[in-house]
Structure 1
Amino acid sequence: MKEQVHTAARRARIAAATLAVTPRAGKDAALQAMADALVDGTDAIVAANDLDVEAARAAGTGENVIDRLRLDPSRVAAFADGLRHIAALPDPVGEVVRGATLANGLRMQQIRVPMGVIGMIYEGRPNVTADAAGICLKAGSAVLLRGSSSAARSNATIIEIMRGALGEAGLPPDAIQMIPADDRSSATHLMQARGLVDLVIPRGGAGLIRAVVEESTVPVIETGVGNCHVYVDADADLDMALEIVLNSKTHRTSVCNAAESLLVHKAVADTFLPTVVAALQHAGVTIHGDESFCAVQADIVPATEDDYAAEYLSLDISARVVDSIDDAIDHIRTYSSGHTEAIVTSSLAASTRFTSGVDSAAVMVNASTRFTDGGEFGFGAEIGISTQKLHARGPMGLTEMTTTTYVVTGAGHVR
């Protein structure tokens, strides 16, 4: 398996050298061709996905995970449209980040260049296969895609279609390759292919991300587990707060930007708690609450420390009444995964205190946590949401998939 992974990486490096000098028009034409091919291949993709979903159900996989796995024609059309959106975005390669003429007359420019070969290790969600391939291609890099065995048929079909479109567009098909998922060692060999792979990005649950961070010898961008919070401030519009809480929690539960924790200021608790409890329970949400929440309804589950730290990815939410905005910030800094936090308030002072006090990749003011997304931010499809602080943080689009080179031009300068 090691030699199989390393052989793929060597082919990827050859392909990456071609992509690095491919002009925008060539990359955009390939992205459009990939999008068209995916739409034309919808029946084959959905048929392969049906087999993956059937196998997942037979294995007792939960419906929230199956929701991430499932594809239908509308979802295929959506990630094809994502590729077209990427094609329409400016090409980051060649962008001058900064430049200056130095005191000695040398002209210095910092220029964006492709990363090279990027490895993706991810779970479920076969749409990531198309998103990652498109972003890496536009950013001038080759990609090695190691999805989960649960989506193996879906991923194989999607990759086969995209590789065919790449070849027809005149670019090397080896810019997009699948790493087998039937052997766990393939992931290990990918993340330890130092010198062949330039960057590894894990995308999935806490266990996967932790394993890649701890075992990889290739640099890693850590994408995020999402224990996201909504804090309802003393100065909140409570009608607005109710809508934001419901959307953040119930719009789609199986994604990392869904809210998992609710904090309510004690000044509005008497008014807001009965309303939000009734609305959440009507939507099928199980509330894991503190004493104040448990006093509202007898069937609320008493919250534990584990609940406050949980990424449920289901119709569950932890809930607590806090004494102050500082109490809310302390709670978030204690339990948050650093993904997304939201405050509902009409107070500028409160919003400023909150946005400067929490330490997360994205902070929403009077908006749902569900907006932390590359597409919603206008980046096109995203490759993941980084919760670390080096190189990239938050939704990662094209720019985050590049690095920089310093180009220094002189006139016979010597030192």
Structure 2
Amino acid sequence: MASGDLTHLQEGAVIPFGGDRFTTVPAELAEAFRPGDHLHVVQTTGALLHVPAAVRDAVREQVDAAVAAFEQLRAAGAEPVHAFYAAFADALADDGTWARIVEANEADVERAESLGRSTTRLRVSDRMREDMIEGLRGWAAHVLNAPAADVVSRVEHDDWVVETVAAPLGVIAFVFEGRPNVFADAAGVLATGNTAVLRIGGDALATAQAIQDHALRPALEGSGLPDGAVRLIPVRERSAGWALFSDARLALAVVRGSGTAVTELSSVARQSGIPVSSHGTGGAWLIADRTADPQRLAGVVRNSLDRKVCNTLNVAAVVRDRAAELVPLLLAAADEAAAARGGVARVHVVDGSESWIPTDDLTRTIEVRRAEGTVTEPRATLLDVDRIGTEWEWEETPELSLVVVDDTDEAVQLFNTYSPQFVATLISEDPDAHARFRESVNAPFVGDGFTRWADGQYALHQPELGLSNWQNGRLLGRAGILTGADLTTRQTFAHHESADQHR
């Protein structure tokens, strides 16, 4: 059996994947591949991921810095880390610094709009700024109040003691979608002694670099922490994420986003032997049972459609006994949320449930504001039940699916079968129904009101690194919310009283 370095690719060459399938090398990949480049194969889809050597070298430089910083950070103590968080927050609170960040963000938004990309999560705002500052100040307080040794357990023997304590993981890699506030989120890893390398979506790179240059790096320098404690990969190429997640020195790979990108990144990490926490497809489900309070339902729908993020209401299920009353109320509440953005809600009705919506909703058209511009679409369209889990990525026009069910059990079965198993809420006045719901629904986030509560900073006062769904099994993180406080491993320490101890 021969082995060696991959220096070229031949058009049409067979590449096996998944154990019993194959794909072939396309002409453009064969032409582009050069010595020193890397090739990764996604084992579930056969996608061929090309990482140019220059991109790989740029990523390795950032990981080198983070590895070196981890060794220094372990001996730094709590005071410099507290000072870093305070200085980072102060920098963002400075109007001059923030003006530079806003200027960079405006350029990012203009570029994204010219490419027809979504900008709803890209734009910085006063609210985003306040949340970042609040999160950093929260971490500063956390560091000061944390015990010197986080003892998980203690077992006492006659003349010796065994303690299990929390210990840092190491270098944490993050690939985020284009959200500029990721620095405040990812900086939480320093609170537990870890370092971070970030790859942000290309649409937000200029904003991220402005935050790094004008707030993050000055805070690291001023507090005496190593420059590599939090590093940003300074390239736009998607392949930078693949290069990052294939570096075996990582302790954990965290990916936020949706769809194909998450699948590819997760595959690269797993094949490289790196634990991965995927935060992918979202979309919350709401179920209204036969005891649902109409006004409560309306408020929950309206407030759960205020903007498009992962925990936005995506699917509403109404029991048949109350459909004639509650479906019009639900649609009216969705339209109220849309009216706040100057439009009408877009609805997808599961085939068989259309008799509960106005007859002309399937024929009349509305203006829908997409990332690529305003388009004309039907107010409502029919949807096959096996597509009910589709997450609607809307821009300015709230969009959701509707299904009428026999009972809560049917709705839960639909959720467990077709949803990404993420956020589920039940509108009911029956305590027993809520108990059954919590026991049967396969979701990490379960509520009885508006869906957008599922957020680390909002719910736990800790900026989140990501929200895990259960679509691919239970994932790392307290209650599905991954924060900097969760990124620890365990170290077991033994104290021996006697030099003569033996077995």
Q: Same fold (TM over 0.5)?
A: yes
Tell me, yes or no, if the aligned pair for 1:294 and 1:301 is still in contact at 8 Å.
no
SS in 2 for 1:376: helix
SS in 2 for 1:146: strand
Q: 1:405 aligns with which of 491, 494, 499?
A: 491
Q: Where in structure 2 are the equivalents of 1:18-33 lying within 5 Å?
A: 18-33=72-87
| SS of aligned partner of 1:221 | strand
Partner of 1:251: 306
**Whole-Å separation in 1 of the counterparts to 2:148 and 2:204:** 32
Matched, 1:289 2:289: no
Deviation string 1:37-90 (CA, Å, 9 cap, x unpaired) is 1222101100000000000011111xxx30100013442233122211221224
Query: In structure 2, which of residues 203, 222, 226 is the aligned counterpart of residue 150 of structure 1?
Result: 203
Within 5 A, what are the aligned runs for 1:284-363?
Answer: 284-290=344-350, 291-297=352-358, 298-299=360-361, 300-305=380-385, 307-314=387-394, 315-363=398-446
Contact 1:100–1:109 (CA<8 Å) still a contact in 2? yes
Question: Matched residues in 1 for 2:385 and 2:427: separation?
Answer: 24
Is 2:502 aligned against 1:414? Answer: yes
Residue 181 of structure 1 aligns with an amino acid whose one-letter code is: V
In structure 2, which of residues 50, 71, 83 is the aligned counterpart of residue 17 of structure 1? 71
Note closer, same or farther for the CA distance 1:265–1:105 as it changes in structure 2 (3 Å cut). farther
Aligned AA (2:459): F
- The equivalent of 1:202 in structure 2 is 255
Is contact 2:301-2:333 (8 Å) kept? no
Matched letter for residue 75 of structure 1: M
Please give the per-residue CA displacement for 1:392-413, whole angstroms capped at 9, x wherever unaligned: 2511123312222122222343
Unaligned regions of 5+ residues in structure 2, if any? 1-54, 339-343, 362-379
CA-based RMSD of the aligned residues comes to 1.8
- Partner residue of 2:455? 373
Q: How far off its partner does 1:292 sit? A: 3.1
* Structure with a larger share of its residues in helix: 1
Q: Aligned ranges for residues 39-188 of structure 1 at < 5 Å?
A: 39-40=93-94, 41-61=97-117, 65-89=118-142, 90-91=145-146, 94-102=149-157, 105-133=159-187, 135-160=188-213, 161-188=215-242
Which of 276, 295, 309 aligns to 1:239? It is 295
Q: Find the aligned partners of 1:8 and 1:84 in 2 and give their Cα distance.
A: 26
Task: Call closer, same or farther: CA 1:117–1:76 in 2, change over 3 Å.
Answer: same
Structure showing greater Rg: 2
Moved more, 200-209 or 278-287: 278-287
Task: Tell me the amino acid that sits aligned with residue 407 of structure 1.
Answer: F
Task: For residue 405 of structure 1, give the secondary structure of its aligned residue in structure 2.
Answer: strand
Q: Would the aligned equivalents of 1:120 and 1:144 in 2 still touch at CA under 8 Å?
A: yes
Residue aligned with 1:409, SS: strand
SS at match of 1:79: helix
Moved more, 46-55 or 173-182: 173-182
Task: Give the AA of the match of 2:191.
Answer: K
**Cα offset, 1:155, TM superposition:** 0.7
| 2:476 paired residue number | 391
CA pair 238-322 structure 1, distance change in 2 beyond 3 A:
same
Q: Secondary structure at the match of 2:458?
A: coil
Q: Secondary structure of the equivalent of 2:481?
A: strand
Q: Is the 8 A contact 1:379 1:397 kept in 2?
A: no
Task: Give the 3 Å change call, closer, same or farther, for CA 241–139 of structure 1 in structure 2.
Answer: same
- In structure 1, list runs of 5 or more residues that go unmatched: none
Partner SS for 2:119: helix
In 2 relative to 1, CA 224–360 (structure 1 residues): closer, same or farther, beyond 3 Å? farther
Shift of 1:307: 4.2
Moved more, 39-48 or 69-78: 69-78
Structure 2: distance between partners of 1:91 and 1:252? 35
* Percent of aligned pairs with the same amino acid: 29
Q: Which has the higher contact order (CA 8 A, sep 6+)?
A: 1
Answer whether contact 2:191 2:485 (CA < 8 A) is retained.
no
Contact 1:38 1:162 in 2 (8 A): no
2:162 partner SS: strand
Q: TM-score, normalised to structure 2's length?
A: 0.77
Opposite residue 292 of structure 1, the aligned amino acid is S
Instruction: For 1:308 and 1:363, locate their aligned partners in 2 and report how far apart those are by CA, in whole Å.
Output: 19
Q: Which has the higher strand share?
A: 2
Instruction: Report the CA distance shift for 1:333/1:186 in structure 2 as closer, same or farther (over 3 A).
Output: same
Alpha-carbon deviation of 1:242?
1.4
1:355-396: CA deviation from partner (whole Å, max 9, x where unpaired): 11111111012x211000001222421111122514325111
CA displacement 1:260-285 (0-9 Å, x = unmatched): 00011112112111221223234321
- Using the TM superposition, name which of 389-398 and 46-55 deviates more: 389-398
Query: Secondary structure in 1 aligned to 2:460?
Result: coil
Residue 92 of structure 1, CA deviation:
7.3
Per-residue deviation, 1:296: 2.1
Q: Which amino acid aligns with 2:457?
A: G
Partner SS, residue 464 of structure 2: coil
- 1:178, CA displacement in angstroms? 0.8
Q: 1:5 aligns with which of 59, 66, 78?
A: 59
